[in-house]
Amino acid sequence: MADALATYRRMRDFSRTPEPAGSEVTDADGARFVVQRHRASSLHYDLRFEIDGVLVSWAVPKGPTLDPKARRLAMHVEDHPIEYLHFEGVIPSGQYGGGDVIVWDTGTWEPVKTDDPRAAVENGELHAEVHGQKLHGRLVLIRREGQDGDAWMLLHKRDQHAVEGWEPEEHPHSVLTGRTNEEVKADPARLWRSDLPAAEADISLLPQPLPGQAIDELDGLGKQGTWEVFGRSVKVTNLDKVLFPGDPPITKRELLAYAASVAPVVLPYLEGRPLNLHRYPDGAEAKGFWHKQRPRHAPEWIGAWDNPDADPGETTTYVVADEPAALVWAANFGGLEWHPWTSRAEAPHEPTYALIDLDPGERTTWEDLLTLARLHRTALEHLGVTARAKVTGRRGIQIWVPVVPGYTFDDTRAWVEKLSGTVGLVAPDLVSWKWEVKQRGGLARLDYTQNAVNKTLVAPYSPRPAFGAPVSVPIGWDELDDPDLRPDRWTIRTVLDRLDRHGDPFRVLLGGAQRLPEIS
Ligand code: MN
């Protein structure tokens, strides 16, 4: 195996390239294969078969296909280490293979007509029965005679899995994460430290969670005290006060534990932005109120922003939550709901998101709202726009669309108005465009007016003041078709499990800033 990987090692400088350096891993469940869609200096698909503990590999410029008529050029390339099997992330530009990689397909395979696939490759003909999520059936690789030794031909046999006209580019999503190359490039989840041994090389770029002992320390405090969390000393008070009705009721201590646990995930949506707090110091059943002015008693490490446009009597200084401990402070201050501005403090009149607020009326059923959300999904996909939806924790659904700098709120408001107006034409019986709630006849409002300075939507993962402390939760587009989806499906008691298992669907928005296409 060391010999098989020698070429691979020669071609890479392991002090610079975040790819696996190779160690011996064997798999008892049989041989695996992977196809990685790799945007390097040119786009290609890497087809790799696990043979004798390495990945025997071909680069296929036009990609593998189920089309039995297709004959694809496949360049036989050096074997790759088995750790590369499910690598999805980025390789620095300027290096061998620099670009972005997704796991386009993976599964198991077995060689046909031989039980020595390594010899079959050496002899220039490999027949492989593959069981992937996209690829199924018999692939055949044949070395092209009279060419230089690396050029092979790849075809799919005319078997029961063959599909004429099938094109890989029409199936662009990762089978591991559902993401496209573009989305992985914008916000890679993985990095390989190739200056470390392969077993330690895989570095997660996801937010680092709160250490478990921090929650134990909070549980160990009395009614109040000082909590050492995320490197800050946060004064916490009234810890046993019930803030949400629930079964059992939810105390402030539990809210603070949630705020600290979710803070690393929420922070990218808060940092650098003025933060409006919806405060419920007497709990979710009492009347809440907006609190925008940064209080004088706030610790000096809590970020601050002075609004140069403040008129007399308006809020002058806002809180900016630039570190996770700030969210704990805000929750202790009675900030049950977190509402970051759509713009950043450095450019308060330039939105970073266009917001689509699907606001149900009294007569709007959940199915109606899902219909409107799915229509927006279709429209956004048709336009090629990166966006994600979230349930609000109350009754609604919101869609966030990241935009590049330079737009005004007038721009984003007009764009959302046009988009939602087009969607509304498809479902006119579900939507009212009347301004006054009473004149809407109980119908839903597609509210584009939230695209304005200092108008805010609730942050992802913010609690809502209702029974059980429901949470506003980002979802994948396909979850709009999940029969179990509800606007208040997750609470502060259940959403952390979901994050552990499925990650944060909004992360693709962080690096996804885009120009808004014309809507005709
Ligand atoms: Mn490649």
Q: What is the distance in A from the centroid of ligand 1 to the CA of 511?
A: 23
Query: What pLDDT score does 225 carry?
Result: 97
Q: Look up residue 175 and give its amino acid.
A: V
Q: What is the distance in A from the centroid of ligand 1 to the CA of 208?
A: 30
Q: Look up residue 153 and give its amino acid.
A: M
Query: What pLDDT score does 18 carry?
Result: 45
Q: Residue 174: CB partners within 8 Å, gap ≥ 6?
A: 88, 102, 103, 104, 180, 184
Query: What pLDDT score does 261 carry?
Result: 95
Per-position b or e across 391-409, b if 16+ CB within 10 A of its CB = bbbebbbbbbbbbeeebeb
Cα 437 to chain centroid distance, Å, stands at 34
Token digits of residue 261: 């646990």
Query: What pLDDT score does 201 carry?
Result: 56
The reported pTM is 0.67
Q: How far apart are the first and last CA of the chain?
A: 58
- Angle subtended at Cα 177 by Cα 392 and Cα 134, rounded to the nearest 5 degrees: 125
Q: What is the distance in A from the centroid of ligand 1 to the CA of 134?
A: 19
Residue 141, helix vs strand vs coil: strand
Do the Cβ atoms of 197 and 22 come closer than 8 Å?
Answer: no
Which candidate, 48, 79, 75, places its Cα nearest to that of 61?
A: 75
Residues with CB under 5 A from ligand 1 (ion): 38, 46
Q: What is the distance in A from the centroid of ligand 1 to the CA of 162?
A: 25
Query: What pLDDT score does 4 carry?
Result: 56
- Angle subtended at Cα 438 by Cα 433 and Cα 442, rounded to the nearest 5 degrees: 70
Q: Which residue positions in the chain have pLDDT lower than 70?
A: 1-30, 92-96, 147-149, 191-208
Cα 322 to Cα 338: distance, rounded to the nearest angstrom: 13
Which candidate, 151, 167, 145, places its Cα nearest to that of 66?
A: 167
Q: What is the distance in A from the centroid of ligand 1 to the CA of 75?
A: 10
Peptide bond into 248 cis (omega under 30): yes
Query: What pLDDT score does 200 carry?
Result: 59
Query: What pLDDT score does 80 carry?
Result: 87
Task: Tell me the C-alpha to C-alpha distance, in Å, between residue 469 and each of 19, 95, 210, 488.
Answer: 43, 49, 21, 9
Q: What is the distance in A from the centroid of ligand 1 to the CA of 15?
A: 19
Cα 159 to Cα 146: distance, rounded to the nearest angstrom: 29
Find out if CATH 3.90.920.10 is the number for domain 351-520. yes
- What superfamily would CATH give domain 207-340? DNA primase, PRIM domain (3.90.920.10)
For CATH 3.90.920.10, list the domain ranges present in the chain: 207-340, 351-520
Q: What is the distance in A from the centroid of ligand 1 to the CA of 382?
A: 29
Do the Cβ atoms of 215 and 229 come closer than 8 Å?
Answer: no
Query: What pLDDT score does 92 carry?
Result: 66
Q: What is the distance in A from the centroid of ligand 1 to the CA of 43?
A: 8
